[in-house]
């Protein structure tokens, strides 16, 4: 699982509940698992959904609120209870903590206090060696030209990662019009990215896994929209939340970017922990890598996440040496995948990934090696510990021209 904290909230007061909710929804490390307006139902909600945090606003009825805190800490000891109240009476705070609450915040809640409380809860969980210590990795696979091998790499690295039973891996096809990741996996999925994007506020984890189709390799696929005209229904805002949900559910999220560097692609780059920029050793590709890196250098936190992947190494197409390529790009080549057109075309046409179709081939070894090199990297540190951060979307909208930012 990931470093995203899943939270359930109970507050009979709609106005204060909405205020806290809108604060939480802006935080990428929080996934709002459930909300409830009645104290009497909340213990069951928590027992069924197993959130990491139960936020109890006690102002409407402090006595019943405290009873609930007591019940939660007895019945669901893994759920850290965070109490919110407009009173800062020392006696009340003491009672709350005795009832089993881990944190107490005064209403109106200030974002820095909330972040501080969430950070402490997160650190305590990490200290207990719980599953949350392992963060979720978002691997964005971007290409320098059409047909460079982006989808081949995204699909096969995804399948290779999914072979490790400690991993749970999702692949999202972001070529919203012409994406073909479903062909590589020979699946006809029932749901697509559009369904998830449009229903993201109503999604829970069970529904999410049901909406994604699971390949025999263990990889979950979220494909592009079926209809061309539906591509516009995926917005930067709802897509950002889809990624938040996936991060809360999977250890690895692989994003197969389009070649248009759209607002959705840019959100992906911002949210990625690692970016694979795929190139071949020919002039058109390398020229684009240089251009892309120039743009990435202008953006906050992108360029340093980029790893250059040379695909079809050994293909004598442009007579550019690896050394020359590294000099031109000004960055080391992170990985080289050999040229093996026959195998690669077969795996695509048969819809069977390399690890199943040609487990002994050199290209498969190289792909698995790449997955290991990526999967073994340190996961990003929990966002809560880093304090208030600008959301990726905010950063993006500051940079990207308004016409591109839906």
Instruction: Catalog residues that contact ligand ADP under the rule CB under 6 A.
Output: 143, 146-152, 311-312, 337, 339-341, 344-345, 348, 363
Q: Which option in ligand ADP, Mg ion, none does residue 17 bind, with CB closer than 5 to 8 A by kind?
A: none
User: How near is the Cβ of 276 to ligand ADP at its closest, in Å?
Assistant: 11
For residues 90 and 333, what is the distance between their CA atoms, to the nearest angstrom?
59
Near Mg ion by CB under 5 A, which window of 146-154, 195-203, 265-273, 292-300?
146-154
In the complex with Mg ion, which residue's Cβ is closer, 174 or 329?
174
User: How near is the Cβ of 312 to ligand ADP at its closest, in Å?
Assistant: 4
In the complex with ligand ADP, which residue's Cβ is closer, 345 or 386?
345
User: How near is the Cβ of 287 to ligand ADP at its closest, in Å?
Assistant: 16
Q: In a 3-state reduction of DSSP, which class is residue 175? A: coil
In the complex with ligand ADP, which residue's Cβ is closer, 150 or 274?
150
Q: In a 3-state reduction of DSSP, which class is residue 224? A: coil
User: How near is the Cβ of 175 to ligand ADP at its closest, in Å?
Assistant: 7
Q: Which option in ligand ADP, Mg ion, none does residue 341 bind, with CB closer than 5 to 8 A by kind?
A: ligand ADP
In the complex with ligand ADP, which residue's Cβ is closer, 230 or 340?
340
Nearest Cα to 69, choosing from 104, 17, 34? 104
User: How near is the Cβ of 388 to Mg ion at its closest, in Å?
Assistant: 37
Nearest Cα to 119, choosing from 34, 72, 52, 43? 52
User: How near is the Cβ of 65 to ligand ADP at its closest, in Å?
Assistant: 54
Asked if the bond preceding 342 is cis, omega within 30° of 0, the reply is no
Among 96, 107, 132, 151, interactor with Mg ion by CB under 5 A: 151
In the complex with Mg ion, which residue's Cβ is closer, 150 or 279?
150
Near Mg ion by CB under 5 A, which window of 60-68, 128-136, 147-155, 396-404?
147-155
In the complex with Mg ion, which residue's Cβ is closer, 183 or 320?
183
User: How near is the Cβ of 271 to Mg ion at its closest, in Å?
Assistant: 20
Q: In a 3-state reduction of DSSP, which class is residue 270? A: helix
H or E segment to which residue 373 belongs: helix 362-375
Say which DSSP state 330 is in. Answer: T
Q: Which option in ligand ADP, Mg ion, none does residue 363 bind, with CB closer than 5 to 8 A by kind?
A: ligand ADP
- The token duo for 388 is 């208030």
- Chain position carrying tokens 């909330």: 114
> 55 - beta bridge partners?
9, 82
Contacts of 234 (CB under 8 A, 6+ apart): 176, 193, 194, 197, 225, 264
In the complex with Mg ion, which residue's Cβ is closer, 10 or 255?
255
Say which DSSP state 378 is in. Answer: P
User: How near is the Cβ of 348 to ligand ADP at its closest, in Å?
Assistant: 5
What are the distances in angstroms from CA 326 to CA 67, 87, 298, 299, 330? 64, 61, 20, 22, 6
For residues 249 and 228, what is the distance between their CA atoms, to the nearest angstrom?
28
Q: Which option in Mg ion, ligand ADP, none does residue 301 bind, with CB closer than 5 to 8 A by kind?
A: none
- Chain position carrying tokens 């719980």: 130
Q: How far is CA 307 from the centre of its chain?
A: 18
Radius of gyration for the chain, computed over Cα atoms and rounded to the nearest angstrom: 23
- Chain position carrying tokens 């840019």: 266
In the complex with Mg ion, which residue's Cβ is closer, 151 or 167?
151
194 in Cβ contact with 230 (< 8 Å): yes
156 binds Mg ion (CB under 5 A): no
User: How near is the Cβ of 302 to ligand ADP at its closest, in Å?
Assistant: 20
- Cβ atoms within 10 Å, residue 357: 16
Q: Listing from the earlier edge strand, what are the strands of the sheet with 220-222?
A: 213-214, 220-222, 169-173, 252-256, 137-143, 274-279, 306-313, 333-338
Helix axes 236-249, 263-271, angle to 10 degrees: 30
Q: Which option in ligand ADP, Mg ion, none does residue 273 bind, with CB closer than 5 to 8 A by kind?
A: none
User: x/- string (CB under 5 A) for Mg ion, residues 104-143?
Assistant: ----------------------------------------
In the complex with ligand ADP, which residue's Cβ is closer, 83 or 370?
370
User: How near is the Cβ of 316 to ligand ADP at its closest, in Å?
Assistant: 13
Q: Which position's Cβ is nearest Mg ion?
A: 151
In the complex with Mg ion, which residue's Cβ is closer, 52 or 265?
265
Residues that bind Mg ion (CB under 5 A): 150-151
């Amino acid at each position: 699982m990931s470093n995203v904290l899943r939270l359930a909230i109970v507050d009979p007061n709609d106005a204060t509940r909405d205020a806290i909710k809108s604060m939480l929804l802006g935080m990428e490390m929080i996934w709002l698992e459930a909300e409830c307006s009645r104290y009497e139902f909340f213990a069951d909600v928590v027992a069924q959904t197993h959130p990491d945090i139960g936020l109890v606003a006690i102002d409407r009825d402090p006595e019943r609120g405290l009873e609930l805190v007591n019940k939660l800490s007895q019945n669901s000891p893994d759920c850290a209870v965070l109490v919110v109240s407009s009173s800062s009476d020392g006696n009340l705070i003491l009672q709350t903590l005795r009832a089993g609450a881990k944190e107490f915040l005064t209403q109106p809640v200030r974002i820095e206090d909330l972040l501080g409380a969430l950070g402490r809860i997160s650190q305590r969980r990490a200290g207990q060696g719980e599953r949350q210590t392992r963060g979720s990795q978002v691997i964005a696979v971007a290409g320098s030209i059409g047909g460079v091998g982006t989808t081949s790499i995204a699909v096969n690295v995804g399948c290779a990662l999914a072979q490790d039973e400690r991993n749970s891996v999702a692949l999202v096809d972001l070529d919203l019009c012409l994406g073909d990741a479903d062909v590589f996996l020979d699946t006809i999925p029932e749901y697509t990215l559009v369904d998830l994007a449009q229903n993201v506020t109503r999604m829970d984890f069970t529904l999410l896994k049901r909406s994604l189709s699971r390949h025999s390799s263990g990889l979950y696929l979220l494909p592009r929209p079926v209809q061309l005209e539906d591509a516009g229904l995926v917005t930067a805002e709802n897509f950002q939340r889809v990624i938040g949900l996936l991060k809360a559910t999977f250890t690895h999220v692989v994003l197969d970017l389009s070649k248009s560097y759209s607002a959705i692609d840019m959100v992906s780059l911002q949210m990625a922990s690692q970016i694979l920029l795929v190139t071949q050793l020919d002039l058109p590709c390398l020229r684009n890598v240089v251009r892309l890196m120039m743009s990435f250098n202008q953006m906050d936190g992108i360029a340093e996440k980029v790893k250059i992947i040379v695909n079809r190494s050994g293909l004598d197409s442009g007579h550019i040496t690896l050394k020359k390529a590294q000099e031109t790009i000004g960055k080391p080549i992170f990985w080289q995948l050999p040229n093996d057109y026959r195998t690669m075309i077969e795996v695509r046409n048969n819809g069977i990934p390399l690890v199943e179709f040609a487990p002994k081939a050199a290209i498969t070894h190289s792909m698995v090696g790449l997955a290991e090199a990526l999967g073994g990297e340190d996961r990003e540190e929990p966002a809560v510990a880093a304090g208030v951060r600008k959301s990726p979307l905010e950063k993006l909208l500051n940079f990207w021209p308004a016409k591109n930012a839906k």
